[in-house]
Structure 1
Amino acid sequence: MSDRKHRIAIVGTGGIANAHAQAVTSLPERASLVAAVDVDLDRAKEFAAKWDIPAVYPSLAELLAAGDVDLVHLCTPPSSHVPLAAECLAADVDVLVEKPPTLSLDELDSLLDAESKSAAQVVCVFQHRFGSGAVRLRQLAADGVLGRPLVALCNTTWFRDDAYFAVPWRGTFEVEGGGPTMGHGIHQFDLLLSILGPWQQVTAIAARQARPTKTEDVSMALVTFENGAVASVVNSLVSPRETSQLRFDYENATVELEHLYGYTNDDWTITPAPGTEAVAEAWSADLEDVPSGHTAQLAAVLDALTSGEPAPVPLVEARNTLELAAAIYASAFTGKPISRGELLQGTPYAHRMGGPGAPWSSTT
């Protein structure tokens, strides 16, 4: 690999931008922060001073015009992702976009179209795929060590109080894209999908149990997969004991993960089925300990950019995850099962995650 250092700019200097800055500064031999961009120039200057960033711009257009950047990290509110990513693509600059990458399937498809006309690519932040535990699980599953996948559980049970929803861009389909299904649980069920592969059909419910939001604060889904596995997915913002849990029951072992916002190897357990004790040895053999997080994903992205390969996770792959989110809303609000591929371009739940609106929207 080349030892060229990648020049990175962060656009949007709110809370999540610090995780991105930490990731870049954790890889000093491979990347450097060259610019910070924010419509609030004072906030951008404060962020730049904190992370020793040499240049500050009030707009992405001015950053791109300066021409001194290889990779843009988009850390802005979700509704701005598509237009800003399109600007980067038009300038042939690669872009790493925070979740959710777009607010709808139609938006994602429009960005795929823009990407097809550019020399650059859009990469989506789904950092839980990149911890060493998830990498090992995918490896053992692909090698057939675990046998067939049978049952999975995916729970994102978090807590956000009323004040959390006072931020203007939270709690609406128009600006945030949805509630915990889109903004919180999406990380866990993206990891689920990265392991179990294409989903087939979903039956779901959604509810507004307690929070002042126009979206759901809870959703629950039953998902079937092309490989025959079945899974339950819970996304909640009303759960005082916060946890993120995944469980995979294979023929030869149960593999479990419990963490909150990121995991290490210590957060995984493996329980072999009777007579398959060697599975545990296969799990632990020479297993390095790489925590999940932005640093792990950025390292993988830089590997790909350096070698000229497509970077993980590309838009086309992230579409599988975003389509499941859309299908959860469509099933919950229509009361019908939704199959993958059913939400065609221009139809209500492809155009907007909430479709015509949540059942309670007329009362808010």
Structure 2
Amino acid sequence: MPPYRVAIVGAGGIASAHANALTGARDSAGGARAELVAAVDVDLARAKEFAETWSMPLATTSLAEALAAGEGIDLVHICTPPGSHVALAKEALAAGATAVVEKPLAVSLAAVDELLAAEADSPGFVAVVSQHRFGSGARRLRGIVESEAFGRPLIATCHTQWYRDAAYFAVPWRGSFEIEGGGPTMGHGIHQMDLLLATLGEWSEVTAIAARTSRDTGTEDVSMALVRFGSGVLASVVNSVVSPRETSTLRFDFEHATVELEHLYGYSDDDFTVTAAPGFEDEVAATWAEGPSGQPSGHSPQVSAALDALDSGQAPPVTLAAARVTLELVAAIYKSAFTARPVRRGEITADDPFWARMDGTGVPWAVRS
């Protein structure tokens, strides 16, 4: 197939990860699967610099111009602040292109549902970047859960403990429910929570607290949640940007083994530790040695999977509907924290203030604008 023609919107730091993954995607004969043809950014100078770096013929401040240029655009990779994601993705869909959107997908469930409606009316699709799902270790772990090779999963922990100083929050669009959609629950821990859900399946209920402990921000800087899954698994979730020793950790305790993953912004097979229950050492070691291996998490394996899906006319992973499940958990954590009660999956409907805004009825430490 001819290479997919790609525009990248937003020329900030994460855009380079997308460009690298796209230019590195090759078919079985070694041919390019994607052609970078347009860089779009509100800052034209930055768009031009990015276009020059990645040998893109067009630099512009207008996605509409990019979509209309030359032979058109097949794929639009959206790497802008979260508040702009839905409008840009809708613009891509209206032109018949497929949008690949960075996390967080949107700043509210209402915005996601608006985008779902636009996707239904377009030949294009929306895929959401969830790069931690695509490392071989995570895929191996998911297979073990499905087969119950380690017995049933019983409890889990999911901790994103990062550090962001005052300078980080001095950037105008950060620390805002309107533009970012929330604090570390939305913008930082969402990647680990997405992997938690991809591993354990449907969540059913959450009880949470959140606080602004020290950062000058309109959002929380810490949240903690207890999550119940449909299978009966119980999980604790911590999201922080006030933790000097930064780490991202996931732990799954099965009947016969514990599987732990510790990394920061991306993992390899070596970042997993497996501990067998007494009497199960040989069985657990043999099972863990099987399955996928050798693929670190990152944008490249997800981009390759997305291109494979498009080749066959299918929706690329992770679908908009699948990503909404993770965003619904984020909304439920905020609702539980700000209303001081448990929240069940499915209860945040269109008449709920937490459907329209992640801060819903308001937070105790910030004046809502």
The answer to whether structure 1 residue 216 and structure 2 residue 214 are counterparts is: no
Aligned to 1:230: 234
- The 5-angstrom pairing of residues 80-91 of structure 1 reads 80-91=84-95
Q: Secondary structure at the match of 1:361?
A: coil
Aligned to 1:25: 23
Q: Amino acid of the residue matched to residue 156 of structure 1?
A: T
The answer to whether structure 1 residue 64 and structure 2 residue 36 are counterparts is: no
The answer to whether structure 1 residue 138 and structure 2 residue 142 are counterparts is: yes
Q: CA RMSD in A?
A: 1.3
Q: Is residue 180–residue 216 contact of structure 1 (8 Å, CA) maintained in 2? A: yes
Q: Matches of 1:110 and 1:50 in 2, distance apart? A: 35
Within the candidate set 341, 346, 349, 1:336 is matched to 341
Within the candidate set 37, 43, 47, 2:46 is matched to 43
TM-score, with structure 1 as normaliser: 0.97
Shift of residue 32, structure 1, vs aligned partner: 2.2
Q: Is residue 77–residue 169 contact of structure 1 (8 Å, CA) maintained in 2? A: yes
Q: Amino acid of the residue matched to residue 100 of structure 1?
A: P
Within the candidate set 241, 244, 251, 1:240 is matched to 244
| TM-superposition CA deviations, 1:295-316 (whole Å, max 9, x none) | 1111111111112222110110
Q: Is residue 338–residue 361 contact of structure 2 (8 Å, CA) maintained in 1? A: no
Q: Matches of 1:78 and 1:214 in 2, distance apart? A: 16
Q: Matches of 2:35 and 2:279 in 1, distance apart? A: 50
* Sequence identity (%): 62
The answer to whether structure 1 residue 352 and structure 2 residue 357 are counterparts is: yes
Aligned to 2:295: 290
Shift of residue 275, structure 1, vs aligned partner: 2.4
Aligned to 2:157: 153
Q: Matches of 1:276 and 1:110 in 2, distance apart? A: 49
Q: Secondary structure at the match of 1:211?
A: coil
Aligned to 1:55: 58
Aligned to 1:14: 12
Give 5+ residue unaligned stretches, structure 1: none
Q: Matches of 1:104 and 1:113 in 2, distance apart? A: 15
Q: Is residue 158–residue 242 contact of structure 1 (8 Å, CA) maintained in 2? A: yes
Q: Secondary structure at the match of 1:16?
A: helix
Q: Matches of 1:287 and 1:315 in 2, distance apart? A: 26
Aligned to 2:114: 110
- The 5-angstrom pairing of residues 174-189 of structure 1 reads 174-189=178-193
Within the candidate set 302, 305, 327, 1:300 is matched to 305
Q: Amino acid of the residue matched to residue 51 of structure 2?
A: A
Q: Is residue 106–residue 346 contact of structure 1 (8 Å, CA) maintained in 2? A: no
| TM-superposition CA deviations, 1:168-215 (whole Å, max 9, x none) | 110010111000000000000000000011101000000001101000
The answer to whether structure 1 residue 316 and structure 2 residue 321 are counterparts is: yes
Aligned to 2:29: none
Q: 1:284 to 1:215 in 2, by over 3 A?
A: same
Shift of residue 363, structure 1, vs aligned partner: 10
Q: Matches of 1:287 and 1:182 in 2, distance apart? A: 30
Aligned to 2:176: 172
TM-score, with structure 2 as normaliser: 0.96
Q: Is residue 106–residue 112 contact of structure 2 (8 Å, CA) maintained in 1? A: yes
> How many residues end up aligned between the 2 structures?
362
Shift of residue 286, structure 1, vs aligned partner: 5.5
Range that drifts further, 139-148 or 149-158: 139-148
Shift of residue 78, structure 1, vs aligned partner: 0.7
Q: Matches of 2:368 and 2:338 in 1, distance apart? A: 15
Within the candidate set 253, 266, 270, 2:270 is matched to 266
Aligned to 1:129: 133
Q: Matches of 1:289 and 1:166 in 2, distance apart? A: 39
Q: Structure 1 residue runs of 4+, over 3 Å off?
A: none
Q: Matches of 2:272 and 2:4 in 1, distance apart? A: 33
Q: Matches of 1:196 and 1:138 in 2, distance apart? A: 8
Q: 1:151 to 1:61 in 2, by over 3 A?
A: same
| TM-superposition CA deviations, 1:59-106 (whole Å, max 9, x none) | 111111124221110001111111111111111100000111111011
Q: Amino acid of the residue matched to residue 182 of structure 2?
A: G
